Amino acid sequence: MSSNARADTAPTPRGLDEPSLKKSILSRLTRDLGTDPEHASPRDWLNAATLATRERLLERWLRTRRHYDETQSKRVFYLSLEFLIGRLLINSLMNLGIYEEMREALDEYGVDLLEIAELEPDAALGNGGLGRLAACILDSMATQCIPGYGYGIRYDYGMFRQEIENGEQVEKPDAWLRHGNHWEVPRPDHSYVVRFHGYLVSHTQPDGTLRHHWEDGDSIVAVAYDLPVPGYSAQPGAGNVNDLRLWSARASREFELGEFNEGDYIGAVEQKILSENISRVLYPNDASQIGRELRLKQEYFFVSASLQDIIAYHLGRGRSIEELPTYTAIQLNDTHPAIAVAELMRLLRDEHELPWDVAWKITVATFGYTNHTLMPEALETWPVEMMTRLLPRHMQIIYDINQAFINDVHHRFPGDSELISRVSLIDESGERRVRMAHLAVLGSHRVNGVAELHSRLLKDTLFADFYRIMPERFINVTNGVTQRLWLNQANPGLARLVTEHIGNAWIGNLDTIKALDSFAEDASCRSEFREVKLANKRALAAYIQKTQKIIVDPNALFDVQIKRIHEYKRQLLNVLHVITLYNRIRENPDGEHTPRVVMFAGKAAPAYVMAKRIIRLINDVADVINNDPVVGDRLKCVFLPNYGVSLASLIIPAADLSEQISTAGTEASGTGNMKLALNGALTIGTLDGANVEILEEVGTENIYIFGLRTEDVARLRADGYRPRDYYENNAQLRRVLDMINSDFFAPNEPHRHSDIVNTLLDSDHYLVLADYADYVETQQHVSRLYKDQEAWAHKAMLNTARMGKFSIDRTVGEYASEIWSAEPYCIAP
């Protein structure tokens, strides 16, 4: 096709001005949605605004794709089982630069943009940090014009909705597609068959070598649904628009016909329904790895479809399969897509008939692997038995990869059989299992952790043996967050303040926000900053009053811990402090108390019993404190249900204090810590994850660090940690634990919380009691400083000014140069 013909097929650009938007909204309302302004419901208006925005994205989307095609660019594929993208309307409008225009256009119809935007369901296709990081990376790749594609699953049900009933978490299904999804574009022409089960056939080639093939089995079809990922540009409508491709499972037609011919119509329909369960629901991160067969099927399903799609495109450009790594980089977001290593080997060997060594070189050159946790319970392994049944050819390839590796290790480190059993792809200590992290390390040319400390610990502990064998693979890429969402969009007041003083370059390049540093010295600027914070706190207070019927004082210190509930994150340490404050107030109601509102938000995995007990405890403690007339406004405790991207956008701008108090050495990075500091919250935290780097950036004066260091934790555990000693030697702590153990916080059920107390006294794996005294003392410093509002605002502003490093754009830049060798290809404005 000539470029003229192509130009002819391009849609006429839609205007970005208010009158054009107004016209589009009306046209979408009447032509696509079959209603009119007189009868339209708020959801109709939302859908019309969505479609009007999507048309404008589509033009740029096509142009972006064409530009990437024409420039022979290298493409990056981010394989992730999770994308926590949240709502898309405001984000798309802001990245397109037409937020004001859309607001005015709707206003002319008497419709409030922010009001209808709230009707859009959060796309919660992720658990927490790992899924949100994937969404921030997509935003950054589009903004930086990197040809980057997300690949994942279009779950019918995302992360469960959390409700609190009688203080306890109740999970409700998240039917986010119930009202349709007007952003997505179904691509039935991009469908691939994915197989499971079947058997192996071996045959000898004319040259005497043995070849293996995977025959037969059950097949399922993966159908693509694309979501546009608009990049930000300072010039309205000038950014690239990338692609998030999500796969949905459809029963294959052969499958149905086979059963149908056997006369079992209902049986055939039942099978069809069952097979489509593959993309039904997102698995929550559970207390320990779940090991469910359907989850392994999900992993292979989306990996197989994605690799077929990637290779079809590559070959379709007239390139040889050997050139794959020249034009393609594939990033594995944790081990969830690690089966891709075996799948690519299978395709290269069995379909493209490449020699083993050539295939292996291509595979390693193509993949990169990001590790997101050191927690042993979270490391994925699959029973050999299950893998053999579901994916017989892959299991055989994994054995072959293992054999080749073991031969090599044996050769380089003769006689070290312990080493071999430690690095083997197969864990033989009990039921034989495939270690997915080992497969990912072997199959990738780069392995990265997500913060300096985490990457060092990977080399020292989890992957110490691999680091000895292949040190050049291991690097660090510290996480980041997108300032487009987490400052510009979530906190318009602060964004305006920053832009008024230093211009708006920070939206595309957060390094420039350091120019705000000197404004922290300016009293009038500090007072503007305090006003913005207070307004955000008022908005959150109003939400709390409306949803929780709790009245909180916006002038109190807003102390927030918002993240998944887990023992290692130590929400319990925070609760112990809350009770400590409560006791002080009751002992001396007229003493000096800095008023505080302690807020928690976060979901517990449905099967994580201890995490659910922690939620119950928080709510029980809140109930007593909030209703104690002696306490009044000096202390409030609030659990905000259903934490997710949208609730985070409301809480983060209103926070004064950010709780980042995990046991040192357990939180890989954290990203909420970055979002909160960027919004001018001071951190109280341990030297864990990215807190270490936040300290380096903001300086010791502007952060509250306490507690055991990673090395202290290791030493204390090795020496035999005795939590009971701390209980016995600290009267304040003893009093708090005794209260929890009595019926104080559970008048009708005296021993409701004794399991928590017993766990703390008998094992306390995460060293809550060991860090208690230092934490409480550090909190006293925080309270004291908060009384000096000027000094507090000074530190808070410096936090905002010094977060440049934690932009996701810096993170993505490092991936692009150190792992992907990817370059920007910006389309013309």
The C-alpha atoms of residue 175 and residue 554 are separated, in whole angstroms, by: 35
Question: Smallest gap, in angstroms, from Cβ of residue 278 to ligand 26V?
Answer: 21
For residues 665 and 689, which CB has a smaller minimum distance to ligand 26V in the complex? 689
580 annotated active-site: no
The C-alpha atoms of residue 247 and residue 79 are separated, in whole angstroms, by: 12
Residue nearest to ligand 26V (CB): 129
**606 neighbors 159 (Cβ within 8 angstroms):** no
For residues 148 and 167, which CB has a smaller minimum distance to ligand 26V in the complex? 148
683: part of which helix (H) or strand (E)? strand 682-685
For residues 26 and 378, which CB has a smaller minimum distance to ligand 26V in the complex? 378
HSE of 26, CA atoms in CB hemisphere, 13 A: 13
| 668: Cα separation from own chain's centroid | 13
HSE of 571, CA atoms in CB hemisphere, 13 A: 30
Question: Smallest gap, in angstroms, from Cβ of residue 290 to ligand 26V?
Answer: 10
**686 neighbors 660 (Cβ within 8 angstroms):** yes
For residues 97 and 670, which CB has a smaller minimum distance to ligand 26V in the complex? 670
Q: Which residues bind ligand 26V (CB under 6 A)?
A: 128-130, 133, 285, 287, 334, 372-373, 375, 377-378, 450, 479, 667-671, 689
Task: Calculate ∠ Cα 467-766-762, nearest 5°.
Answer: 130
Q: How many residues does the chain have?
A: 829
Of 103, 245, 533, 564, the active-site residue reads 564
Of 671, 759, 778, 811, the active-site residue reads 671
Cα–Cα distances in angstroms (integers) from residue 19 to residues 111, 251, 580, in the given order: 15, 45, 59
388 annotated active-site: no
DSSP letter for each residue of 588-645: -TTS----EEEEEE-PPPTT-HHHHHHHHHHHHHHHHHHT-TTTGGGEEEEEESS-SH
564 annotated active-site: yes
For residues 92 and 482, which CB has a smaller minimum distance to ligand 26V in the complex? 482
Question: Smallest gap, in angstroms, from Cβ of residue 340 to ligand 26V?
Answer: 18
**654 neighbors 536 (Cβ within 8 angstroms):** yes
DSSP letter for each residue of 273-286: HHHGGGGTBPPP--
Pull the structure tokens for residue 659. Answer: 């709780």
CA nearest to 82, candidates 431, 334, 365, 355: 334
Question: Smallest gap, in angstroms, from Cβ of residue 289 to ligand 26V?
Answer: 7
- Which phi-psi region, left, alpha or beta, contains residue 789 (left: φ > 0; alpha: ψ -120 to 50)? alpha
For residues 222 and 287, which CB has a smaller minimum distance to ligand 26V in the complex? 287
Amino acid identity, position 260: F
Counts for the chain of helices (H) and strands (E), in that order: 34, 24
103 annotated active-site: no
Question: Smallest gap, in angstroms, from Cβ of residue 600 to ligand 26V?
Answer: 18
Cα–Cα distances in angstroms (integers) from residue 444 to residues 57, 147, 447, 667, 668, in the given order: 34, 20, 7, 24, 20
Question: Smallest gap, in angstroms, from Cβ of residue 367 to ligand 26V?
Answer: 18
For residues 536 and 669, which CB has a smaller minimum distance to ligand 26V in the complex? 669
Task: Calculate ∠ Cα 741-745-747, nearest 5°.
Answer: 100
Cα–Cα distances in angstroms (integers) from residue 167 to residues 204, 241, 552, 743, in the given order: 66, 44, 19, 16
The three-class DSSP label of residue 503 is coil
- What are the strands, taking DSSP E only, across 115-240? 123-125, 148-153, 161-165, 168-172, 185-196, 199-204, 210-215, 218-230
CA nearest to 757, candidates 724, 779, 730, 732: 724
Question: Smallest gap, in angstroms, from Cβ of residue 688 to ligand 26V?
Answer: 9
Question: Smallest gap, in angstroms, from Cβ of residue 636 to ligand 26V?
Answer: 28
**82 neighbors 130 (Cβ within 8 angstroms):** yes
272 annotated active-site: no
CA nearest to 760, candidates 736, 778, 791, 784: 736
Question: Smallest gap, in angstroms, from Cβ of residue 436 to ligand 26V?
Answer: 13
For residues 462 and 621, which CB has a smaller minimum distance to ligand 26V in the complex? 462
Question: Smallest gap, in angstroms, from Cβ of residue 447 to ligand 26V?
Answer: 14
Of 675, 802, 805, 810, the active-site residue reads 675
Of 372, 435, 613, 752, the active-site residue reads 372
675 annotated active-site: yes
For residues 287 and 307, which CB has a smaller minimum distance to ligand 26V in the complex? 287
Question: Smallest gap, in angstroms, from Cβ of residue 766 to ligand 26V?
Answer: 11
Q: What own/partner pairs with CB < 8 Å and gap ≥ 24 does 212-217 have?
A: 212/350, 212/393, 212/396, 213/350, 213/393, 214/346, 214/350, 214/392, 214/393
Residue 487 carries which DSSP code?
I
Of 22, 60, 394, 569, the active-site residue reads 569
Question: Smallest gap, in angstroms, from Cβ of residue 693 to ligand 26V?
Answer: 12
For residues 368 and 689, which CB has a smaller minimum distance to ligand 26V in the complex? 689
733: part of which helix (H) or strand (E)? helix 731-741
Active site positions, annotated:
372, 563-564, 569, 671, 675
